[in-house]
Chains A and B, each alone.
Chain A
Amino acid sequence: MTLDIQSITRAYDGLPALDDVSLTVRDGEFLALLGPSGSGKTTLLRIMAGLDRPSAGQVRFNGEDFLALNPRERRVGMVFQSYALFRHMTVADNIAFGLKVRPRGSRPCRAEIAERVHDLLRLIQLEGYGARYPSQLSGGQRQRVALARALAIEPRLLLLDEPFGALDARVRRDLRRWLRQVHEQTGVTTVLVTHDQEEALDLADRVAILRQGKVEQVDTPQALYDRPASAFVHDFLGEGLQLQATVARGEVMSSDWRAPSDAPTGDAFLCIRPEDLEASDTGLVGVVISSLRRGDRARVAVSLHGRRLELDRAIGDPLTILAPGEPVRLHPRRFHVLAERGDIQTTSA
């Protein structure tokens, strides 16, 4: 049950929303489409659901031409950011809708539908809420009902369009954990669209990073962290430094600092995560801006080559002894020399 997307292009009024995108969603996996707004991730999801059509390219599901099927025939469960619950129906009727509208031959009988609704209400932990209307539920509860409604049709593919976008941070975190559990229970191949990197890295087996209508990199969260394909990916996945650098004669150089690198000669970005920096006699020259103790840890803000970076360290680390205003040299234990975008160039250290 793999979904194969080949060279999809979609343009709106001449502006490309998706530009030659190819992607494979494997059977049973949880894939996140991650990118800033306008990167084309929602367009890609709508094409999977059949709510939008590509200008060129192919979508195959288990070898079957998905584009030849209309959304009604695809058996794809979709969850919208706006919940899109049927406001005039009870929670139970919402969940049962996809079963009730089936053609007479394949429609389950009344008792079967009731049982399925009951099972799903238990799955979303809303037993006893079946007779309520969506307006009587909280945002998190509504989104759970929307998920149950999508699961009721036993979808071959579950599509989630920023499902937690309208919820507050705490509810988001709880729902995220719960969604991962549901995925493990049901095993439905799932595609999640989000602009929240923490959400994507937490939930997904693999993450596809989109940028301006192109796929920048697809990999597991760990691999994205270990081997970012570009300075953009490095920047998008979390806090870090991307310093302008040049590579020449087997060395990477950023102002007064240099290290051996096998990256190709030319301009590049020196990309470093804060956790890879350690106080040392050699290294990048910086100044401590502030140092805040909180329990057994300290947050040390450092200005490095004109950039501000927050370092979270255990008390006792040499960095936590420094007072604001003191100079410091920071040595990157690990760094990446990357182009602004494009293929993996090199990983050093």
Chain B
Amino acid sequence: MTAETLRLSAARPRNLSLGRGLLIGLALLWLTLIVLAPLSVILVEALRKGLGAAVASLSQPDVWAAARLTLLTTAIATPLNAVFGLAAAWCVTRFDFIGKTLLMALIDLPLSVSPVISGLVWVLLFGASGWFAPWLNAAGLQIMFTPVAIVLATILVTLPYLARELIPLMQQQGSDEELAALTLGARPSAIFLFITLPNVRWALLYGVLLANARAMGEFGAVSVVSGHIRGLTNTLPLHVEILYNEYDFVGAFATAALLAVLALLTLVLKSFLEHRHADDLAARGRC
């Protein structure tokens, strides 16, 4: 806020600032009700029978297996999405081709369809009576109800996040810097490493974190393809549901708290980057 706007807001009549206070209060109340209260319920419920019980239920091997699978899935899906997102954003912002609009619509598709559908498509492809079933059976391969299916479903659901983050920025930056580098004698690999990548680095990191958070928390698509085999194909969100259905509330909420902590870590990192990213854009956006 500049000094000018500060002076303006100070000069505002009293009833206006009263209205502002009311609105802020309302927003805070709403957030408390919708976001903060449920989050604290998780913690409270997890600790209902004491810290010992919560820690004990977290040290179950099944929980560890679920946490491992969740992190593994994220660790595979996110880099793949980063590579694809960068390639897609590059294609869309640097070239004109037939079917460009269709490609952009396809990138957005996973955002607009229900995750359950994003899971079902894999069943239709690789399931017992899916399109590729004869071929898979002949080769003795199993994809459904294995971590492979979970990774595929997660990739599909988180596919748009990076491209959505990169496309507007790359569109705004244009290709003049890359062309300048080309005329200065840079090879394509050098242009990518020294010009393209540094110019989008903050947006890329930001997109990676968004996709990461989504990948860890994905339930619907993963639920369809997982098969819910404990210790093998259960991710953290799926394990929370199983424990809850078995009336193991402490276990369910403790596991949920673990998942929430992972998500919060991502969120903290994201806010930090958002801050840096904004500074970066403000400082260098003019050229």
Contact = CB atoms under 8 A, between A and B. Distances in A.
Nearest to A149: B184
A164 to B, nearest CB: 16
Contact of B177 (A73, A75, A84): A84
B187 A72 contact: yes
B185 A102 contact: yes
Contact of B184 (A83, A133, A153): A153
Contacts of B180: 78, 80, 84-86, 146, 149
A51 B199 contact: no
B72 interface: no
Given A72-B187, A101-B190, A101-B194, A87 B182 contact: no
A303 interface: no
A236 interface: no
Nearest to A82: B176
B199 A98 contact: no
A86 B284 CA distance: 10
Nearest to A161: B176
A49 B183 contact: yes
Given A78-B180, A102-B185, A153-B185, A83 B284 contact: no
Contacts of A142: 287
Given A133-B284, A135-B287, A84 B199 contact: no
B177 A72 contact: no
B186 A72 contact: yes
A40 interface: no
Interface in A42-72: 49-51, 71-72
Contacts of B182: 51, 71-72
Contacts of A146: 180
A135 B279 CA distance: 13
Contact of A86 (B181, B185, B187, B286): B181
Given A82-B176, A86-B195, A98 B184 contact: yes
Contacts of B283: 133, 135
Nearest to A74: B183
Nearest to A73: B185
Contacts of B269: none
A88 B181 CA distance: 13
A97 B284 contact: no
B179 A51 contact: yes
B183 A82 contact: no
A87 B185 contact: no
Contacts of B187: 72, 101
Contacts of B176: 80, 82, 84
A208 interface: no
Contacts of A152: 184
Nearest to A83: B287
B198 interface: yes
Nearest to B183: A78
Nearest to B190: A101
Interface string B177-219: 1011111111100100011001100000000000000000000
A135 B286 contact: yes
A101 B199 CA distance: 18
Nearest to A142: B287
Nearest to A77: B183
Given A51-B179, A87-B177, A135 B284 contact: yes
Given A51-B182, A82-B176, 9 more contacts: A71-B182, A72-B183, A73-B185, A75-B185, A84-B177, A85-B287, A97-B181, A134-B284, A149-B184
Interface of B: 174, 176-177, 179-187, 190, 194-195, 198-199, 283-287
Interface of A: 49-51, 71-78, 80, 82-88, 97-98, 101-102, 133-135, 142, 146, 149-150, 152-153
10 pairs of A and B residues whose beta carbons are closest in the complex = A98-B184, A84-B176, A84-B180, A101-B186, A78-B183, A134-B287, A88-B198, A87-B284, A135-B284, A101-B190
19 contacts: A50-B183, A72-B182, A73-B185, A84-B179, A84-B180, A85-B180, A86-B181, A86-B194, A86-B195, A87-B199, A87-B284, A88-B284, A97-B184, A98-B186, A101-B185, A101-B194, A135-B283, A150-B184, A153-B185
